[in-house]
Amino acid sequence: MIEKEYYRLDELEKRFNLSFSDVLYLVENSKLELIFRLDKKEYIIGGWRKKKGFVGFAKASYQGFVRISKNNQLALLSEKEVSCDHFWLTEKEKIQNWITEYPFQLAFPNTFLYMWQPKELHEIEWQSIPAKLLPIEKEYVYRTLINGMDKAFKMIIPSYEKPEDNEKELDEKLPKVQLDSQCIYLKLADICLLHSDLVKAGITKPIGLTSEISFKNIQPSTAPNKSRSDDFNELLLRLVEAEPELTAKGYWRNLERELDDLQEYRVFDKHNLLVEISATHINWKDRSGKPKKPMSFSSFSNRLTKVRKELFPNNNI
């Protein structure tokens, strides 16, 4: 059988002796993540701000792999279908038609968007980029209803005229337009699993000597290591695998951004370990919710050094 970059759900049992129940278990325990290959669509690119909502950076088009939230992954596996309106775009180089100008008439904040904060693509450092499907802007539903009633009255009573005071009050109180969120219905047949993710889960071995997450031919080690049992080290492993060449300060800033995201929408902190980050310490808890000793920047840097050595024992990073 040919080696592939990704596999469909119905291939896993024959290739890897991996049953549907096995996949469900691995997803439930954050050891495996489902991914989806979508046709070209338009999105609002942005990020999630805690207690606020979605902040838009730009409008863009994209065709390629996307990830969805863990809750949606589990809903798909249990219900066989799930509706999704937000995603994480995983192939940054395939994002096209980047426009930072606000694309709607409707002012913000609104039900779709908390605010608009223009940002260029090269300014976004995340490996997986949050995005919502471009909504449809149309006349506000209550205006459509009221205007329809006025037309009906006019048909029944030809002499009927809408009171000017009512029309002025309507213009002042009701928005002219609304944004209708769009969604995609994903089914079990749409599920893909990356070969690299199967390697990380210990299901199979890397293809050849190259790694899909490498920079400058960096080859992660597939040998087991004790640090993976520590929740915070697992978080650091995901950070370093995504961007191997950052400095300790760079990873610290990434965690600060992660903390600003709503818990369900965090890219790296899958177990919501982060509680608070100051200039000098990280307050965190384990996945069971037990508070852990605050981590200083010095301790954070030492942990990073160990994680790098475990991931890349033959590379000087």
- The ranges assigned to domains in the chain are 6-136+178-194, 141-174, 211-311
pLDDT computed for residue 194 by the predictor: 93
- The amino acid present at 171, given as its one-letter code, is D
pLDDT mean values, one per 10 residues, the chain (317 residues):
85 91 91 94 91 92 95 94 95 96 94 94 88 91 66 69 64 79 96 91 71 42 49 88 83 85 72 90 90 93 89 64
Token duo for residue 181: 């969120």
pLDDT for residue 282: 94
The answer to whether 300 touches 282, Cβ cutoff 8 Å, is yes
Task: Characterize 98-132 residue by residue with b for buried, 16 or more Cβ atoms within 10 angstroms of its Cβ, and e for exposed.
Answer: eebebebebebebebbbebeebebeebebbbbbbb
Q: Quote the pLDDT of residue 51.
A: 76
95 neighbors 121 (Cβ within 8 angstroms): yes
> How many CB atoms lie under 10 A from the CB of residue 237?
20
Phi, psi at residue 96, to the nearest 5°? -130, 170
For residue 110, which of 170, 44, 41 has the smallest C-alpha distance? 44
Instruction: Give the angle subtended at the CA of 274 by the CAs of 270 and 279, to the nearest 5°.
Output: 140
Each residue's pLDDT tens digit, 272-281:
899 999 989 9
- Which token pair is 221? 């080690």
Q: What is the pLDDT of residue 226?
A: 41
Rg (CA), the chain: 24
Give the per-residue pLDDT at 167: 62
- Position 171 scores a pLDDT of 65
What is the value of pTM for the model shown? 0.65
Q: In the structure encoding, which two tokens stand for residue 8, read together?
A: 């469909």
% of the chain at pLDDT higher than 70: 80
Q: Say how far apart CA 127 and CA 240 lie, in whole Å.
A: 11
Q: Answer yes or no: are the C-beta atoms of 82 and 76 closer than 8 Å.
A: yes
* Residue 257: per-residue pLDDT: 81
pLDDT score for 317: 47
